[in-house]
Amino acid sequence: MPLTAEEQMILIQHVIKRHPSEQAIVEKLGPVMPEKEVQRGIDSLIGTQRVRRIGPDILQNNESHTELPVLSESLAGIIDGLDL
């Protein structure tokens, strides 16, 4: 079952929390999302200030601006299945 845009954003945010390197995020999410979708999601999260860039390849959730969304059971299962 394909992920909705919001589910993709939530997954990206939770992977950023564990792996702040943009390259690592793309690699970790590779099994569940195409690279283009990951990049689009990162750009959207930066644009909405839910994520900020703190270096050339380093991302950080902007938890002072917005809280990290809660994972649903299905998304938690996907996260558990990734090599994080």
Domain harbouring 63, CATH code: 1.10.10
Residue 1's pLDDT is: 65
| 55 against 84, higher pLDDT | 55
66 confidence band (pLDDT: 50, 70, 90): confident
For residue 61, the cross-strand partners are: 51
pLDDT for residue 25 is more than 90: yes
Q: How many domains does the chain have?
A: 1
Residue 5's pLDDT is: 94
Residue 45's pLDDT is: 97
Q: Give the separation between CA 2 and CA 9, rounded to whole angstroms.
A: 13
First to last CA, the chain: 22
Q: Which long-range contacts (CB under 8 A, 24 or more apart) does 29-33 make?
A: 29/82, 31/81, 31/82, 32/3, 32/78, 32/82, 33/3, 33/8
What is the domain extent for residue 20? 5-81
